[in-house]
Amino acid sequence: MQIPAVPEKKHRAFEQRHLQVPRFARYSIMGSLEGDLSEVWIVCHGHGQLARRFLSRFLPLERPDRLFIAPEALSRYYLLPPVAGPHAPGTPVGASWMTSEDREFEIQDYVNYLDLLHDEIFSVVDRSKVRLWVLGFSQGVATVARWVARGNVDPDRVVLYAGVLPPELDVESAARLARRSPLTIALGTSDDFASPELIAAQEARLRELGVPHTTIRFDGGHEVIPEVLKRLTEVATS
């Protein structure tokens, strides 16, 4: 007996659309917006971190004339499966700037977010009286590079700490990155995410794109080290 063929099911053609919505974004501050400031630092954390904890890494640089702003990425998630049930207190949470899913809209979302935060800060702080530092760590490196290249920020110093440039950085966006600020790259000698091959490729890419930069190597891994932060400030004033 011959088994009749099963008709092939026709799949419905799904259409995906986007709706821009207002939402709350969280950021942490160390210092006073109303203080007699000489420097403002906007520092972007890495994948799986939260702004408040990341900001604590900058305590060694704390001074009355410095204001530190740590924006928190818009997408939070549980770092570990909840042991005591969903939303159990104490379950560690981190945040991510983006994933590969719907990436162009996620990038535009955080560029818009960082622009709004920048404008919020400098509606109170006199921009002409302060030096603006923008620093990205790990995943925050690509975040900061995209923001400086695409957004409205005009920093005095840009630091890319323990991370790599975004893959889509082209001649036009690199020119904006180079024009906006001196660029400093900090990489640990024992950072698993900074192999010699990757470093050489990034250096070659920056030269090809014509982006002036300084690379600082330090003894350490994939971490923010107080001595390196102090070294960055010394390099900037030398």
Give the domains, in start order, of the chain with CATH numbers: 27-80+91-237 (3.40.50.1820)
pLDDT > 60? residue 1: no
Average pLDDT, the chain: 90
pLDDT tens string 179-230 = 767 889 999 999 988 888 888 888 898 888 888 889 999 999 999 999 999 9
Cβ contacts of residue 27 below 8 Å, gap of 6+? 51, 69, 70, 71, 72, 117
> What are the phi and psi torsion angles at 94 (to 5°)?
-130, 180
Closest CA to 224 of 156, 140, 148: 140
Q: Which residue has the higher pLDDT, 235 or 163?
A: 163
pLDDT > 60? residue 9: yes
Q: Which residue has the higher pLDDT, 237 or 131?
A: 131
Reading the block at residue 21, the tokens are 């919505």
pLDDT tens string 123-152 = 999 999 999 999 999 999 999 999 999 999
pLDDT of res. 11: 65
Reading the block at residue 195, the tokens are 């192999």
Cα separation of 106 and 95, whole Å? 13
pLDDT of res. 66: 98
pLDDT tens string 80-135 = 876 666 667 778 899 999 999 999 999 999 999 999 999 999 999 999 999 999 99
Cα torsion angle, 133, 103, 198, 72, sign: positive
pLDDT of res. 120: 97
> What are the phi and psi torsion angles at 188 (to 5°)?
-80, 145
pLDDT > 60? residue 168: yes
pLDDT tens string 35-69 = 999 999 999 999 999 999 999 999 999 999 999 99
